[in-house]
Amino acid sequence: MAYTEEDLKEELKGKEYEFGFTTDIESDKISVGLTEDTIRLISEKKNEPDWLLSYRLKAFNVWQAMNEPEWAHVHYNKPDFQAISYYAAPKQKKVLESLDEVDPELRKTMEKLGISLEEQKRLSGVAVDFVMDSVSVATSFKEKLGELGIIFCSFGEAVQNHPDLIKKYMGSVVPMTDNFYAALNSAVFTDGSFCYIPKGVRCPMELSTYFRINESGTGQFERTLVVADKGSYCSYLEGCTAPQRDENQLHAAVVELIALDDAEIKYSTVQNWYPGDDKGVGGVFNFVTKRGLCERNAKISWTQVETGSAVTWKYPSCILKGDNSIGEFYSVAVTNNFQQADTGTKMLHIGKNTRSTIISKGISAGKSQNSYRGLVKIGKYAQNARNFSQCDSLLMSDRCGAHTFPYIECDNPSAKVEHEATTSKIGEDQIFYCLQRGIDEEKAIGLIVNGYAKEVLNKLPMEFAVEAQKLLEISLEGSVG
Amino acid sequence: MLKINNLHASIEGKKILNGITLEVNAGEIHAIMGPNGSGKSTLASVIAGKEEYEIESGEILFNDEQLADLKPEERAREGVFLAFQYPVEIPGVSNINFLRTALNEKRAHQGLEPMAAKEFLTLVKEKAALVQLDDKLKNRSVNEGFSGGEKKRNEIFQMAMLNPKLAVLDETDSGLDIDALRIVAHGVNTLKSAENATIVVTHYQRLLDYIVPDFVHVLYNGKIVKTGGKELALELEEKGYDWIKQELGEEIKV
């Protein structure tokens, strides 16, 4: 009997989330609920200085007075913040002398994720920090980076070893009062990554953090802080996965980038949190605040490939404070089944001759909802500011939605702001053309979608472009109809 | 190679093919001519396996295999090639990458390893020269921004790369100027061998000056109403399709 498209759909519907395994590691997890005591406990477990504890408590107060934002084009049952455990750490020996001492179960996890640290060390020269649940468990390449004066470590270590830098920059771009989730994160964050590139140093390798939620009933609240001192350069990549669970897990991170005069930061994300099943059950709520500050002649590029999460709420932004600074945002956001994404960027032009580019490619399949939301704001003193925005949407089915919410605020008449938007549906004729050349539907969709997203994928570091392409294909398998 | 027996096919409930019987052997070139709406393109689409078309009765055998049992991509890998009347644009996918994917799918089907990059590029160079395909077009997105003539040449280039057993050229001559027509025809003629066969679907006799068919079939109302040698095409050109209609009318009267 002929194999019909229906059969294919059926087969692919249950296509398993590849990273849906859990790791059986003894874990140090505190009981659920959030009070001042919880925060004190986290701070104590992390052996933190008093100033950080007071920062947390202040943030907690701010958070309690705030309401969860409702303006995004997403619908979900709000998380019960008292039903979450705010700290879970894989139990292991206190201090690791080398990667060989990492718990074997944990190493297996890393291997399943495709981040065999040894391999990466040898082949691609990528330095990896691995954050599981709440704490950072391994950072490779630390010594080699140290020779250049580059600090790349877990946030917790940075608090202990580089308190001045943390004190100076933490919350300087995303203040605790910024929004509901940023405030929550500031109160309960458990770990994350810290990176400092000294003056004039060009970081010779990709810096990478892998985040993974493992424990059930936990949230992940990590902070990333990247400081590129004057004239320095670094490229940073974060990847995320989570096990398959029926419950909704909360991920509320804060990422702050600081590019001082003449510095450049490239920040790439491949986000693959568990998206929930084909009925919309489970999946990660990804409520993340990411923002970068550009001083004079500095440049920050955000590149994101978003394929996971049940609900995404995320707007990596640039504050173009210094004259001649440049902000870029390249995004591919894929939603399938019942996923919802409300994502985009803010480009705040403050300095003169500041330039920004926004390329957003939304791909919606199944019954998903995919929104681009972006703000381009040209301040009063931003003479000759330039912005170019392009927002494309690709529809894979007739039950999904694509929405674009571009906001432009311009207070300087010399500014030039361009916005282009397109919406297209993946063509049956395109697919048939591929089929007729011997390329099956799955590969055809992969080709077409990767072609559509090419402008963004080209911005990813080589090592990760291939992974991102594969992810796009996996996320969209069997989704035409 | 291809045997079509009393084929009836429809699209969205509308009957287009009303009992086509046709046999094409290796080494042969068949021309299918007919007025607009006679079912020429439908026949090409049904052979390729386009989903919207439904076979109501009859069969298509390709090397003694029921084509209806094969998915479109399997037909392609088995050696059925359709040169599209309107080649489709695929933005962001380079022509070369597209072809390499297609070629390697076919090789995998034959149990072969993917073609080595060097060998592939040599092949590209050789086959592109055959249809004088501009170097730039190889790396551009599939058919995107190609002129009408470039698209058609690209189809023949793909055909040359994939080396099919049966090629169906659907109105490949439409929109071609005389020079492009010559180039396309030269490509098709060069690719002809004792092992493969070609079906040329066309409205005009013009193409058949360059691609000389062994047989000419006239399609009318979804049926082959007349079959002859290459001279039939000339006769058609001279007398027009009304001649067929009249002839049929007479037959009906008799």
ipTM: 0.95
* A435 vs B contacts (CB less than 8 Å): 49, 71-73, 76
Asked whether B108 and B78 are in contact (CB, 8 A), the reply is no
Q: Point out the residue among A436, A441, A451 whose CB comes nearest to the CB of B76.
A: A436
User: A422 to chain B, minimum CA–CA distance in Å?
Assistant: 14
pLDDT, tens digit, 9 for 90 and up, residues A421-467:
888 888 889 999 999 999 998 889 888 988 888 888 888 877 677 77
pLDDT value at position A83?
A: 81
**In the Cβ-directed half-sphere of A57, how many Cα atoms lie within 13 Å?**
13
The mean per-residue pLDDT over the stretch A44-61 comes to: 91
Q: Point out the residue among A428, A438, A448 whose CB comes nearest to the CB of B93.
A: A448
Q: What is the DSSP letter of A101?
A: G
Joined tokens for residue A460: 């990813």
Inspect the interface and report whether the beta carbons of A432 and B158 lie closer than 8 Å.
Answer: no
Interface of A with B (CB under 8 A): 2-3, 5, 427-430, 432-441, 443, 447-448, 450-455
Structural domain of B230: 2-253
Inspect the interface and report whether the beta carbons of B77 and A429 lie closer than 8 Å.
Answer: no
CATH of residue B228's domain is: 3.40.50.300
Q: Point out the residue among A437, A439, A451 whose CB comes nearest to the CB of B141.
A: A451
d(CA A241, CA A250): 13
Inspect the interface and report whether the beta carbons of A433 and B141 lie closer than 8 Å.
Answer: no
* A451 vs B contacts (CB less than 8 Å): 90-93, 141
SS3 at position A227: strand
pLDDT value at position A103?
A: 57
Inspect the interface and report whether the beta carbons of B102 and A437 lie closer than 8 Å.
Answer: yes
Question: Nearest residue on chain A to B78, judged by CA atoms?
Answer: A438
**B71, B107, B155, B166: best mutation site toward chain A, by most A Cβ within 10 Å?**
B71
pLDDT, tens digit, 9 for 90 and up, residues A65-123:
988 888 888 888 888 888 877 877 655 434 444 555 555 665 665 565 555 444 444 33
Q: What is the DSSP letter of B114?
A: P
CA A131 to chain centre: 13
- Write down the pTM of the prediction: 0.78
Confidence of residue B216 (pLDDT cuts 50, 70, 90): very high
pLDDT value at position A23?
A: 59
Report domain extents, chain A.
5-476
Asked whether B197 and B169 are in contact (CB, 8 A), the reply is no
Question: Nearest residue on chain A to B110, judged by CA atoms?
Answer: A438
* A436 vs B contacts (CB less than 8 Å): 48-49, 72-73, 75-76, 81-82, 84
Inspect the interface and report whether the beta carbons of A433 and B51 lie closer than 8 Å.
Answer: no
Inspect the interface and report whether the beta carbons of A440 and B87 lie closer than 8 Å.
Answer: no
Question: Nearest residue on chain B to A442, judged by CA atoms?
Answer: B73
pLDDT value at position B81?
A: 97
Inspect the interface and report whether the beta carbons of B109 and A452 lie closer than 8 Å.
Answer: no
* B69 vs A contacts (CB less than 8 Å): 2
Share of chain B above pLDDT 70, in %: 98
Inspect the interface and report whether the beta carbons of B77 and A452 lie closer than 8 Å.
Answer: no
pLDDT, tens digit, 9 for 90 and up, residues B73-108:
999 999 999 999 999 999 989 999 999 999 999 999
SS3 at position A2: coil
- Count of domains forming chain B: 1
pLDDT score of A124 more than 60: no
The C-alpha torsion from A291 through A295 and A297 to A301, rounded to 10°, is -10
d(CA B63, CA B86): 28
